[in-house]
Structure 1
Amino acid sequence: MYFVDPAACRVALAVANRTRLTPNALTVFSLVLGAVSAACFTMNQLVAGALAFYLSFMIDCVDGKVARLKGTGTPFGLWLDYVGDRVRVVLCAGGLAYGQYALTGDVRFIVLGAAVAVLDLFRYVNAPQMKRVREAVKEGRQEPGDEHEPFDQDPFDQESQEPQDRVALGRGPRRRSFPRRLNRFLARHRVRSHLISGIEFHAAVFVVAPLAGAWALIPLAAMSGVLLLANEVFLVYRLWLFTRRHGAASSQESREHVLV
């Protein structure tokens, strides 16, 4: 967030105010830079590949900012951005794996490339499915007359739940815990307090490791992959707690209706 977002914000302002570039054009340009990065990795030009990937990722952050600034976002643009990200990762993972395998003959680099692509795909497949589950649970909990319930709140945020939900679960209002206060403080200072997500994973595999040298590719990719998987498992666990909590509340409300 320190090395990408500040630069992306400045570029977005310049693009929005001084050019006619559309968000979709920026997304395509980002994909082209990703292909350049993959080609550099294939030719064992690790530093050049890392710099090209950084530029690609930064431009990919610009397109969404320009879309919000100018109000020019489209559903097709969302699809293009989503698919472009996946194509870039597959190309770069394949280029990195092929380049190092051709140089060393070490089959571990082939495994590395496949693992990176699969982990990235799993993360992006898992996220919308989790969102669908959260929305389904909240729609099932919505009572007549609750049409104005804010659906954009974080379902994992205890403070965002309605007080009656806590009462239904036998809990009173909870004071904000120290970890939650610490997380909010870090977020205000651009520090991501969770384990690791796609941003950190891509940066570790395609920027930090290549800049450090070929020796760092496997250790850093393996470590970041394990942390990414742990983060996904943690999110699934929280989703399970969320569905269980709302399931318990629904059961209690059903029993109260029967008694009434």
Structure 2
Amino acid sequence: MRTYSLDDVYETRKRRDSWWTVYFVDPVACRVALPVANRTRMTPNGLTVLSLVLGMVSAACFAANHLIAGAGFFYLSFMIDCVDGKIARLKGTGTPFGLWLDYVGDRIRVVLCAGGLAYGQYALTGDVSYVVLGAAVAVLDLFRYVNAPQMKRVREAVREERQEPDLLADADPLLGPDPLLGPDPLLGPDPLLHPDPLTGPDPLPGQESERAGLGRTSRPRAFFRLFRRLNRFLARHRVRSHLVSGIEFHAAVFVIAPIAGAWALIPLAALSGLLLLANEVFLVYRMWLFTRRHGAGSPQESREHVLV
């Protein structure tokens, strides 16, 4: 059996990921993945099931009002969830069923932990705000993972109508396209190599003044040029441009807030939830700009293709 090195494991990291994963999970997950790959026969699906079990333990801890223990088990659950993907890419054992299991397991973990937090704090205080908190967390997570694949389908429908290659897809080089929207929707496979599709390449010297005279479109273009430069900086550090995605939302609600204490649950959940919604609105806005620029020839046909 082949012996893998830590460098081999590092090669399985996603080209771009959430900042929480890059800085707080991957350093641990990579070192855990190494002995798992070399000394055990655990499969990616087995690791996914283990991650779900740890998520259930986290939910039970939250329900019993053991917030720090719940946060610790949630972190372990997410970390193992990252390990299963690394093992799949390292050994080439990923399967379509594994993608489904990973996706469903994540949703179950979030719903259970949200319910555990709500139940534990409501039983302790009788404050119905915690029930609303649990429901809101579950709904926001569901919205995020319903919205993402629909945006992907819209993008693919436009590309299909125009018969153009999907240069905006961000596929994992070993496992194929992201089953949702990819790490950075509507932004291109690599901002270090490809210009932003909404703004085009950086202007040549002397062209800035010409572009500045475009009237109402100059400000959006200037904004996206700034966004593109920020995106390139983040790409050099493997960090996605949308800085508050579902992963950061989960980390704030189920790890950071419980460690801080019960007083932080509602404020941090509300703040991270608003930032997540703002991120989703921004992504929808960019998708709208994309569809305006690359509008399909038959809007009715495209609409039916996307929604059916």
Q: Aligning the two structures, in what range does the TM-score lie when normalised by the shorter sequence?
A: 0.7 to 0.9
Kept in 1, the 8 Å contact 2:186–2:286? The answer is no
Give the one of 173, 182, 186 matched to 2:234.
Answer: 186
For the 8 Å contact 2:55–2:73, the answer to whether it is kept is yes
Q: Deviations over 1:157-184 (max 9, x none)?
A: 497479xx99xxxx98543945423322
2:53 counterpart letter in structure 1: V
**Equivalence for 1:235:** 283
Give the TM-score, by structure 1 length: 0.85
In structure 2, stretches of 5+ residues that fail to align are: 1-21, 171-184, 205-224, 299-308
Structure 1's consecutive aligned runs of 4 or more residues displaced over 6 angstroms after TM superposition are none
Larger radius of gyration: 1
User: Deviation digits for residues 5-30 of structure 1, max 9, x if unmatched?
Assistant: 11112222221222110000000000
Instruction: Return the alpha-carbon distance in structure 2 between the equivalents of residues 203 and 185 of structure 1.
Output: 23
Q: Which residue of 1 aligns with 2:62?
A: 41
Between Structure 1 and Structure 2, the one with more helix by share is 1
Where does residue 257 of structure 1 map in the other structure? Answer: none
| Contact residue 158 and residue 294 of structure 2 kept, 8 A | yes
Runs of at least 5 residues in structure 1 that lack an aligned partner in the other structure: 252-260
1:61 maps to amino acid: C
Do structure 1's residue 106 and structure 2's residue 122 form an aligned pair? Answer: no
Correspondence for 1:175 among 174, 184, 203 = 203
Question: Is 2:63–2:120's contact at 8 Å kept on the other side of the alignment?
Answer: yes
The CA distance in 2 between the partners of 1:78 and 1:88, in whole Å, is: 15
Q: 1:231 to 1:132 in 2, by over 3 A?
A: same
Cα distance in 2 for residues equivalent to 1:240 and 1:149: 17
Q: Superposed, which structure 2 residues align to 1:53-202 within 5 Å? A: 53-142=74-163, 150=167, 152=169, 155-157=186-188, 160=194, 173-175=201-203, 177-202=225-250
Take 1:122 and 1:149, find their aligned partners in 2: how far apart are those partners?
25
* 1:185-243 alpha-carbon deviations (Å, 9 max, x no partner): 22322444434101110000000000000000000001101111111111111111111
How many residues align structurally?
A: 240
Greater mean alpha carbon deviation, residues 180-189 or residues 12-21 = 180-189
Percent identity of equivalent pairs: 79
The root-mean-square deviation of aligned C-alpha atoms, in Å, is: 2.5
Per-residue deviation, 1:152: 3.2
Asked if the contact 1:4/1:58 (under 8 Å) is kept, the reply is: yes
Q: Distance in 1 between matches of 2:151 and 2:102?
A: 20
Aligned equivalent of 1:244, options 292, 295, 300? 292
Q: 1:109, 1:218 within 8 Å by CA — same for their partners in 2? A: yes
Following the alignment from structure 2 to structure 1, what is the Cα–Cα distance between the partners of residues 274 and 128?
Answer: 20
Native 8 Å contact 2:168 2:187 kept in 1? no
